[in-house]
Structure 1
Amino acid sequence: MKPGQHSGGQHSGGQHSGERQAEAAAGAKGALLAHDPAAYDYIIVGAGSAGCVLANRLSADPAKRVLLLEAGGRDWNPWIHVPVGYFKTMHNPNTDWCYRTEPDKGLNGRSLDWPRGKVLGGSSSINGLLYVRGQKEDYDHWRQLGNAGWSYDDVLPYFKRSEDQERGADDYHGTGGPLAVSNMRIRRELCDRFIEAAVELGIPARDDFNGAEQEGAGYFQLTARNGRRCSTAVGYLHPVRHRANLEVVTHAQVERLVFDGRRAAAVAYRRKGEAFQASCRGEIVLAAGAIGSPQVLMLSGIGPGSHLQELAIPVVHDLPGVGGNLQDHLQVRMVFQTKRPITMNDQVRNPAKKALMGLEYLVKRSGPLTMGASQVCVFARTSEEAATPDIQFHLQPLSADKPGEGLHKFSAFTSSTCQLRPESTGRIALRSPDAEDHPAIHPNYLDTVKDQAVTVAGMKMSRRFAATQVMAPLIEKELLPGPGVVSDEDLLDAARNISQTIYHPVGTCKMGRDPGAVVDERLAVHGLQGLRVVDASIMPAIVSGNTNAPTIMIAEKASDMILADARG
């Protein structure tokens, strides 16, 4: 199939008005107008946390034609928009890619589910809504690695530009941006006590983890407005869908990029069994995430040459770093049974209380249905040697075998800890040249002695929280991993057996100038033209916190760089 041609069918279903208008015009001409040669100035692959930002910013100039391709569907599922609805959208193949890792030796051979959003808004439509930027030292480290323009002072304006902060604007926060950031709309005795326990342990109370200092304990803020999720689809994409120069195609499975010499010239994809090819006279931007972006590159012949040759994929550009440097936060979820029915488990188990929860949400947009994945956050240091916090607690006033599944039938809460800056790195590899086949995910968790030591130290700190004067009266017993697990060796083995991802994969198309780098500091793919990567995969090192807000920042900054480079 030549650039500009299609297989004869027109798109149907999951379209916004601009897409339908394009097809109506195409019908009169006997060809798909949207896919005329060199039709687009920008093609964005992936309508997730980064892709929706890019679609908004790059289409602001009506003279620029923008195509946004998304493998998932529209964000019509009502559970997407109810904050606690991630229980319904994770592990749901209509909204989740439902990735699963390879057996990992660091987890005693276990495989983990790795949810990733497959819907407009991507993971910002199914995540836990927690708004955390990381530490300023994270971005200064990126700059120290040679990435000019990525220090904390450089990126702070983009965090502020993205934000519509409920508390108002100040030196660290902005108002009027597309992304709503709001306070937790529910408080609980259990959560208040956990914050008091932190203070008892010498950790300060903190009401803003994204200001001058991160270290401390307090309630999370959420990417929500008036008790409803504010995904990037809601905040960035839907308000500009009326733009005639922006076309959104859902259910578009990208198969490969097409090159004209060293220049990315088109995107080949399938939609409902039909093949299409969209040409680009400007730039193609991969925003498919830490799993999807390296997969598309490798399917297109860009990646480790030997790996591509094993799969009989013609090598367009031997770029060894594609798929490498995979990093993630591994959480150890310790569960404590309570003496009183003060957890969400009790509300969900009681039909009357469950009905009241729904009624409160419908009437007031408040109550338990407005919860994010966790309510209380603690950033703490496991030792005096740590210059900044090296672990993060997520306190959940509920318990389940794993996130996204049904709650336990007894009163309990979860104290989850994760190491903020793991040294262990893994990789993404192709299983086959077929774009429909999920890639092989090798996380390589707990591979270094430091990662093991910090993980064990975090587990011990969870127990210190439980033993404080303010928390101990509430706790009946430790259920997971259990009081019989005492030695460091046993704690580490328990971590290998019970830990889960905290859904923060990054780094697989890392930014830098070293041999393992995939993109430069302007996020252009090394050695090629007309191609960038803009998503969490470009992080050279994982940030010390949740990754959605930093991904949105990356896209905000990238949009300015793309537009500036286009102006020359």
Structure 2
Amino acid sequence: MLDGSCTGGGAAGATFTAALQFFAASQCLLNEPWPQHSTVLNESTFDFIVVGGGTAGSTLAARLSELNGVKVLLVEAGGNPPQESIIPGYKSTLKASRFDWNFTTVNDNFSSQALQDGSQRQPRGKMLGGSGSLNDMVYARGFPVDYNEWGDIVGEEWNWNNVLKYFKKTEHLTDERIINDPELNKYHGFDGAIEVSGLNESTYTTDRFLEAFEQLGFPLVKDMTYPETIGAGRFSHTIKDGKRDSSLTALLNKAATRDNLFVLKEALVAKVFIENNTASGVKVIVDEEEFYYYANKEVILSTGTFNTPKLLLLSGVGPKGHLDELEIDVKQDLPVGENLHDHIMVLTYIAAGNGTCNSDERSVYMDAMKYLYDGSGSLSRTTDVGVYVSLNDSNNNNVPDFAIYPTCMPQDSGFYESCLNVLGFRQEICEKLSIENKHKELLSLAVVCLKPKSRGRVRLKSTHYLDEPVIYSGTFSNLDDLEGFPKVMETAWAIANTSYFQAKNAYVIHIEVEECKGLEGRSKTKCVAKTTAMSAWHSVGTAAMGTVVDSELRVKGIKGLRVVDASVMPNIIRGNSNAPVVMIAEKAADYIKHSLEST
């Protein structure tokens, strides 16, 4: 989920650096035991090669290394995350940095025309932990109906009842709002590796947002993952002792001490070797030098929704027509790269008098020192509030169609640079918002379509492994996705009319775009939604179960090749994708372990 504020600028900044230096001699808070880079001889052989050390790859490599007598190679294109990656309050500083793949979409001359070049930013982590090292740490799962849809496509092992135990397996719930409620507890795990935390105490900002949405008729819920009731509430987060917790910090860091796990960093996989319909190994580029590594059992791709199809296509697995165009030898004709879809997000803004944003957010220097002293303060927190919205025509009022994610930006927060470089709005929009922010606080309300019908695709630009994949977002290619936006945007704007924000003289900032001039009412709102739409950074589906991989995530028609990441989702879930990707990796680990037992 994107918070819409992004007050960082690609690095933690001089203030944090000064505080860090001040405390460096006495504080160990920011030290993380990242996996050591392994020395691996060219043409070495392993049982399993896991390509990509992100959320899924970190989970899977750690689980496979638990097996006796098995050698595992994990290959990651990036290096270690920087120190600020583990600080929740700096969650946005790594986007649009060298730790980000910095993918962008192709201008379709239809949607997103209020963004620079009509192109959507697609931040993806290029480091150990992948996007799990730069996301908002929100713990969400989607809803039972999402997984029951998967079950209908590929088999009941992917329905809600059968995936829930895998969510529980990795979860170590410590959220004070949930742990003492027996009804909520039955959906959670308490012995897993990744902490899912939350506090009873709330910030002033959070309380004001929740009061406003309660006035608008939304029930307040204690647990945003609870499948029986939706409304407004505070998310749980993968945060432990004030620091980011992830499959990297909780699983891979510990597993990397085992003798049978080898981790290559700054190493880019350029191709999977496939002969006689069997994957046998990978070509890896390190400092422009080629290395060849071989797998006795499986090559597993965990490089994400954009890089996984790219690597499959480069290796000859994909649509025959596209591969023929690039003169790539076709190993298997499959719809790789199709079915790309994402939550569609439209950012809306309200200006209000000062006093709503957390006061300590303005005292950055003191807050940095407080954080380094005991891991507390605003830097130990991240995006908090969410609102799930079910439209009147929904088949089930407890299943959301949209979400609203509100955040508060203090006066003069330095929003302009991140508006340009992270969100990617055109200059005139960023200037208008920044002028408002000079004298007012900005309330950003992200309005997100959770179950879009639109589909895009991923293609190769060329056969060169360094060229970025070509990403066609397909946003609003199915116009049904536009229909709900006016109503939900009006709901978001309505908080300006609630009692507290009226007292703050709040008013809606209407983003004016050339394409919508002359339109009025909901027609104009719909137009603004279409032109300002962007990704919520949860893209899925490009190597989907049922079409590209089977129910055990094995690539169809190719032995020894499996995909384990968000690209295997046949349909997107109604929520943030990090926890579901961990769940997918846990299931994959069990599939692989069972396959070893049966041979």
CA separation in 1, counterparts of 2:487 and 2:34?
Answer: 50
Conserved in 1, the CA contact under 8 Å of 2:195 and 2:245? Answer: yes
What is the SS of the residue equivalent to 2:100?
A: coil
Q: What amino acid is the match of 1:508?
A: T
The match for 1:396 among 376, 393, 407 is 407
What is the SS of the residue equivalent to 1:149?
A: helix
The match for 1:50 among 41, 49, 56 is 56
Whether 1:101 aligns to 2:115 is no
The match for 1:436 among 444, 466, 471 is 466
Whether 1:78 aligns to 2:83 is yes
Q: What's the CA shift for 1:470?
A: 4.0
Q: What's the CA shift for 1:359?
A: 2.3
Structure 1 residues 475 and 293, CA, compared in 2 at 3 Å: closer, same or farther? Answer: farther
Aligned to 2:484: 454
The match for 1:192 among 197, 207, 216 is 207
Deviations 1:240-299 (A, max 9, x none): 111000000011111111012100001111011110111011011100010011110000
Aligned to 2:521: 487
Deviations 1:44-78 (A, max 9, x none): 01000100000111110131000000000112x11
CA separation in 2, counterparts of 1:194 and 1:330?
Answer: 22
Conserved in 1, the CA contact under 8 Å of 2:221 and 2:230? Answer: yes
The match for 1:282 among 297, 308, 311 is 297
Q: What amino acid is the match of 2:342?
A: D
Whether 1:340 aligns to 2:357 is no
Q: What's the TM-score once normalised by structure 1's chain length?
A: 0.89
Q: What amino acid is the match of 1:83?
A: P
Aligned to 1:362: 372
Q: What's the CA shift for 1:468?
A: 2.5
Q: What amino acid is the match of 1:258?
A: F
Q: What's the CA shift for 1:330?
A: 1.7
Q: What's the CA shift for 1:386?
A: 4.5
Q: What's the CA shift for 1:203?
A: 1.6
Worse-matched range after superposition: 188-197 or 440-449: 188-197
The match for 2:273 among 236, 255, 258 is 258
Q: What's the CA shift for 1:86?
A: 2.4
Whether 1:503 aligns to 2:537 is yes
Q: What amino acid is the match of 1:395?
A: P
Percent identical pairs in the alignment equals: 32
Aligned to 2:197: 182
Whether 1:468 aligns to 2:498 is yes
Whether 1:379 aligns to 2:416 is no
Deviations 1:140-175 (A, max 9, x none): 111122333000000000000011111349311112
The match for 1:292 among 300, 307, 326 is 307
What is the SS of the residue equivalent to 1:87?
A: coil
What are the residue-to-residue correspondences of 1:162-173 with 2, within 5 Å? 162-167=170-175, 168=179, 170-173=185-188
* Displacement over 4 Å in runs of 4+: 14-18, 403-408, 482-486
What is the SS of the residue equivalent to 1:88?
A: coil
Worse-matched range after superposition: 218-227 or 162-171: 162-171
Q: What amino acid is the match of 1:51?
A: G
What is the SS of the residue equivalent to 2:471?
A: strand
What are the residue-to-residue correspondences of 1:151-166 with 2, within 5 Å? 151-166=159-174
Q: What's the CA shift for 1:214?
A: 4.8
Deviations 1:313-355 (A, max 9, x none): 1111111x100000111211111111123325x765x5xx222
The match for 1:311 among 308, 326, 330 is 326
Conserved in 2, the CA contact under 8 Å of 1:393 and 1:415? Answer: yes
Q: What amino acid is the match of 1:200?
A: Q
The match for 1:546 among 565, 569, 576 is 576
Q: What amino acid is the match of 2:523?
A: E
Aligned to 2:444: 414
CA separation in 1, counterparts of 2:454 and 2:35?
Answer: 43
Conserved in 1, the CA contact under 8 Å of 2:316 and 2:331? Answer: yes
Q: What amino acid is the match of 2:224?
A: F
Aligned to 1:7: none
Conserved in 2, the CA contact under 8 Å of 1:134 and 1:543? Answer: yes
Aligned to 2:222: 207
Deviations 1:179-231 (A, max 9, x none): 11111697333321221222222221011111242511111111110110012
Conserved in 1, the CA contact under 8 Å of 2:34 and 2:253? Answer: no
Q: What's the TM-score once normalised by structure 2's chain length?
A: 0.84
Q: What amino acid is the match of 1:433?
A: T
What is the SS of the residue equivalent to 1:461?
A: helix
CA separation in 2, counterparts of 1:235 and 1:16?
Answer: 12
Q: What amino acid is the match of 1:455?
A: F
Deviations 1:62-103 (A, max 9, x none): 31000000000112x11111012222211102x110111111
The runs of 5 or more residues in structure 1 that have no matched partner are 1-13, 24-31
Structure 1 residues 292 and 214, CA, compared in 2 at 3 Å: closer, same or farther? Answer: farther
CA separation in 2, counterparts of 1:546 and 1:53?
Answer: 17
Structure 1 residues 336 and 368, CA, compared in 2 at 3 Å: closer, same or farther? Answer: same
Whether 1:238 aligns to 2:261 is no
Aligned to 1:19: 38
Conserved in 2, the CA contact under 8 Å of 1:50 and 1:534? Answer: yes
Aligned residue pairs total 530
Structure 1 residues 144 and 472, CA, compared in 2 at 3 Å: closer, same or farther? Answer: farther
Structure 1 residues 82 and 214, CA, compared in 2 at 3 Å: closer, same or farther? Answer: farther
Conserved in 2, the CA contact under 8 Å of 1:163 and 1:174? Answer: yes
Deviations 1:483-535 (A, max 9, x none): 998512211221233332211000000101xxxx1001111111110011010
Q: What amino acid is the match of 1:567?
A: E
CA separation in 2, counterparts of 1:386 and 1:221?
Answer: 27
Q: What amino acid is the match of 2:51?
A: V
The match for 2:287 among 272, 275, 284 is 272
CA separation in 1, counterparts of 2:236 and 2:596?
Answer: 36
CA separation in 1, counterparts of 2:205 and 2:580?
Answer: 30
What is the SS of the residue equivalent to 1:471?
A: helix
CA separation in 1, counterparts of 2:406 and 2:74?
Answer: 37
